[in-house]
Amino acid sequence: MFVWDALQDLTLIILMICAVVSIGVGLATEGWPKGMYDGAGILLSIILVVLVTAISDYRQSLQFRDLDREKKKISVQVTRDGRRQQVSIYDLVVGDVVHLGIGDQVPADGLFISGYSMQIDESSLSGETDLVDIYEQKPFLLSGTKVRDGSAKMLVTAVGMRTEWGKLMETLNEGGEDETPLQVKLNGVATIIGKIGLTFAVLTFLVLTVRFLIEKALHNEFTKWSSTDALTLLDYFAIAVTIIVVAVPEGLPLAVTLSLAFAMKQLMDERALVRHLSACETMGSASCICTDKTGTLTTNHMVVNKIWICEKISNIGDNENKNIDELEIHESVFSIFLRSIFLNSSAEVVKDENGKNSILGTPTETALLEFGLLLSADHDAYRRRFKILKVEPFNSDRKKMSVLVALPEGRIQAFCKGAPEIVLRMCEKVVDSSGEVVLLSEERVRDITEAINGFASDALRTLCVAVKDVGETFNENGIPDSGYTLIAVFGIKDPVRPGVKEAVQTCLAAGITVRMVTGDNINTAKAIAKECGILTAEENAIEGPEFSSKSPDEMKDIIPNIQVMARSKPSDKLNFVTNLRNMFGEVVAVTGDGTNDAPALRQSDIGLAMGIAGTEVAKENADVIVMDDNFATIVNVAKWGRAVYINIQKFVQFQLTDLPLSQLYNCFGLI
């Protein structure tokens, strides 16, 4: 199959025709075996090109199969044998209880057991873009669909090819790889060269033939023809065929295939999984990288570094057991403080087979739970004692998570945590230094804002937690969004990855602009960007909402200077990438790991998803999956992309300037 596909190349078809004609002319003019040499040489080169191309394509298909298998190494969290654990989606069995969160792909068909605000994107199966609500009365979850909001537990009812997704896949035929843009262009070049060669060949043959006829006419020999005259005309025809043969770059398809295949192999060794072949060459042309912060520029292992509580700032330092006195938390506040950490969280503390505690959840929530456990608190006891009535999960639009909790004495409390500018706006009171609840005056707001900005300036991610007594009635319609009491402000540290600053400098030296696009506080984003060498001036940072409010003319003025975009929503990131491409003709590479990054990943020239922290939605919309989530790996993708172009450039330069010109010179010398 691969040999047949290799033979379909237009360049090789032209060469095969030339070889057959050359053998026919050679045998007629020079006899056996000398007349076979030129044609046989062409045929041997065709066989070589076809064999190498077919073998390369076959090995590449095996590599794609391995890469695809690597890509499908997806783990899910399940409850099995009475405990929560991580298993491969291929090890799921009917009866498992799967834990689903925002960004996950549903790994099997199943039934909704319990959960909150569950919304599913079924467009991959139904083609409908509207999100589907899942709840007790509408409990069916289908394999291959994606979780866009909420969280849930699902009972697996069908796996593998027995699922609706599996039945759909059985009806599809697997399509082959499309030609890359570079291959299309080079085939076009080969066609043009072939046409030019054919034109010159025809002109050469006509000129030589006309001159021969004129000479015969001048010598009054026009009516006298011999075998010598026929051999002379055959020689002229052989010269024309030679021009065509040397003009067509027969090694061009082979050079392209080998360069791309080699680049892909090297990238796999360097922890970059290429999903689309064209990504190798597209990344070589990238003039701008819009990178996420968390997990790409930073390690994505967060720890609580500072905390503001009871109007005091405490440095946590290294992870070690803390007590109330050290943190200066008033006793009356301590219990509420721990409730706000343990109950308002989608993360869980689980025990492995050896009885050791581990935390499953997002990095930010993991940091908070780790901090709560450092205070020698019992997470399981809090979970058993208090009943969670309703949950509004965190997402990039709300920028907060809220829960309603029933207390043992019958009262109901609402807890909220999220971005400081969101939560602080919902608060009317605050806990003061004596542990008393007091009104949140303008002066106190200024002090809290100053503390938040101080945390952000130290490159800490800031998070506020608040509480509200709802009373004894449970409102089914929603969780309150005002009247809260501010408990604490956390400063969470996410260290910059080693080697990121050097990688950024390499990009800048190569003419690739690096821009950070993040949902974090602008002060935190600025601090990290400066540490990485991305931000060079304060005015080159902007917040997403401010950017999106600009007119097209204003955007045209500010976009070239933007180095950091903070507090960006998915629509802001998409808007930024679209304008970079359309207004300025930039070749944009975008990195992302969350569901909210998917639109920008799809819109970009090349999308790079994170292999470790990335959601399945992000990976599915990306061209390259960065297996180690490291920005330095992205730089390696750009290097190998440029290497492909350099290799092709060298080959074309040699092919088009050396061989054809010298041969054409010899041919015209004969004339």
Identify the CATH number of the domain in which residue 607 sits. Answer: 3.40.50.1000
- Residue 603 tokens read as 């819109």
Domain CATH for 102? 2.70.150.10
- The confidence score (pLDDT) of residue 472 equals 64
Helix segments in 533-586, DSSP class H: 544-548, 552-558, 570-584
Assess if residue 547 is contained within a domain.
yes
* CA 198 and chain centroid, separation: 45
In a domain, 238, yes or no: no
Amino acid residing at 494: D
Gap between the Cα atoms of 82 and 31, Å rounded: 86
pLDDT at position 668? 46
Residues 405 and 452 in one domain: yes
The CA-atom distances, in angstroms, between 287 and each of 290, 376, 543, 585 are 10, 51, 23, 9
Sign of the CA dihedral 151, 153, 156, 157?
Answer: negative
Q: Tell me the backbone φ, ψ of residue 459, rounded to 5 degrees.
A: 65, 35
- Beta strand residue intervals within 51-145, DSSP E: 75-80, 83-88, 97-100, 109-121, 132-134, 140-141
Last residue of a domain, one of 148, 173, 198: 173
DSSP state of 634: H
Q: Which residue has the higher pLDDT, 38 or 157?
A: 157
**65 and 96 part of one domain:** no
Residue that finishes a domain, picked among 436, 460, 493: 493
How many beta carbons lie within 10 A of that of residue 194, not counting itself? 20
pLDDT in tens, 154-197: 999 999 888 877 776 565 444 444 455 565 666 677 677 778 87
Model pLDDT, residue 47: 84
Angle of CA points 252, 256, 262, to nearest 5°: 140
Q: How many CA atoms lie within 13 A of 309 on its CB side?
A: 28
Look at residue 502 and tell me if it is in a domain: yes
Calculate helix-pair angle for 331-342, 363-374, nearest 10 degrees. 150
CA distance 506 to 517: 19
Residues whose CB is less than 8 angstroms from the CB of residue 388 and which lie 6 or more positions away in sequence, other chains included: 343, 403, 404, 405, 406
User: Is the pLDDT assigned to residue 409 strictly greater than 60?
Assistant: yes
Q: Is residue 179 part of a domain?
A: no
Question: Phi and psi of 133, rounded to 5°?
Answer: -80, 135
* 600 and 456 both lie in a single domain: no
349 and 275 assigned to the same domain: no
- Render pLDDT for 194-215 as a digit per residue (tens, 0 to 9): 788 788 888 988 988 888 888 8
CB atoms within 10 A of CB 82: 5
Strand ranges, E, within 505-641: 513-517, 541-543, 564-566, 588-592, 606-610, 624-626
Contacts within 8 Å (CB) and 24+ apart, 60-65: 60/257, 60/261, 60/264, 61/2, 63/261, 63/264, 63/265, 63/268, 64/177
Residue 101 and residue 136 in one domain: yes
Distance (Å) of CA 665 to CA 5, 64, 370: 35, 45, 78
Supply the DSSP string of 346-369, one letter for each residue.
S-EEEE-TTS-EEEES-HHHHHHH
Distance of alpha carbon 472 from alpha carbon 50, whole angstroms: 79
What pairing do the DSSP bridges indicate for beta strands 484-493 and 427-431? parallel
Task: Report the range out of 66-70, 266-270, 538-542 with the highest average pLDDT.
Answer: 538-542
What local confidence, expressed as pLDDT, does residue 184 receive? 64
Domain end, chosen from 173, 202, 218, is at: 173
Structure tokens at 423: 């939560």
pLDDT in tens, 218-257: 877 777 777 677 777 777 877 777 776 666 665 666 676 6
Closest alpha carbon to 388 in 402, 374, 404: 404
Task: Decide: pTM greater than 0.85.
Answer: no
Q: Which residues does the annotation mark as catalytic? A: 292
Q: At 103, give phi and psi (nearest 5°).
A: 95, -15
Amino acid letter, 180:
T
Q: Measure the CA angle with vertex 37, ends 32 and 38; round to 5°.
A: 130
Which pLDDT band holds residue 666 (cuts at 50, 70, 90)? Answer: very low
What pLDDT score was predicted for residue 498?
Answer: 84
Say if residue 589 is in the same domain as residue 456: no
pLDDT for res 179: 54
Stated as kind and residue range, the H or E segment containing 33 is none
Q: Is 25 within the bounds of a domain?
A: yes
Q: Are residues 501 and 447 in the same domain?
A: no
Predicted confidence at residue 57, as pLDDT, reads 66
| 392 lies in the same domain as 461 | yes
Separation between Cα atoms, residue 413 and residue 429, nearest integer Å: 15
Residue partners of 248: CB distance under 8 A and separation at least 6: 11, 14, 15, 18, 190, 193, 194, 197
Note whether 155 and 95 are within 8 A (CB).
Answer: yes
Q: Which two tokens stand for residue 227?
A: 């075998």
Long-range contacts of 15-20 (CB under 8 A, 24+ apart): 15/42, 15/45, 15/46, 15/245, 15/248, 15/250, 16/43, 16/46, 18/42, 18/241, 18/244, 18/245, 18/248, 19/43, 19/46
Instruction: Tell me which H or E stretch contains 252.
Output: helix 252-269
- Pinpoint the alpha helices (H) of 328-441: 331-342, 363-374, 379-385, 420-426
pLDDT tens digits for 331-353?
Answer: 778 889 999 999 988 877 877 66
Are 446 and 347 in the same domain? Answer: yes
Q: In this predicted model, what pLDDT tens digit does every residue of 414-456 receive, in sequence order? A: 999 999 989 999 999 999 888 889 999 999 999 999 999 898 8
Helix (H, G, I), strand (E, B) or coil at 140: strand
**Residue 181 pLDDT:** 54
- Is the confidence at residue 580, as pLDDT, over 60? yes
Name the pairing type of β-strands 348-351 and 387-392.
unpaired
Number of domains in the chain: 4
Same domain? 98 vs 131: yes
Q: Are residues 335 and 410 in the same domain?
A: yes
**Would the pLDDT of 665 be above 60?**
no
- Whole-angstrom Cα distance, residue 262 to residue 660? 28
Q: Residues 377, 339: contact at Cβ < 8 Å?
A: no
**Structure tokens, 651:** 């080959």
Residue 469 lies in a domain: yes
Q: Residue 667 falls within a domain, yes or no?
A: no
Q: Is 567 inside a domain boundary?
A: yes
Please tell me the distance from the alpha carbon of residue 233 to that of residue 227, in angstroms, as a whole number. 10
pLDDT at residue 60, as a whole number: 58
Summary mean pLDDT of the chain? 80
Same domain, 538 and 427: no
State yes or no: pLDDT of 86 exceeds 70.
yes
Rounded CA Rg of the chain: 34
Contacts 24+ apart (CB under 8 A), 44-47: 45/15, 45/250, 46/12, 46/15, 46/16, 46/19, 46/250
Q: How far apart are CA 548 and CA 577, in angstroms?
A: 12
Question: Domain range spanning residue 597?
Answer: 259-299+497-643
Give pLDDT, residue 67.
54
The 3-state DSSP class for residue 82 equals: coil
Higher-scoring residue by pLDDT: 121, 367: 367
**Could you tell me the two tokens for 369?**
């739970």
Residue type, 595: T
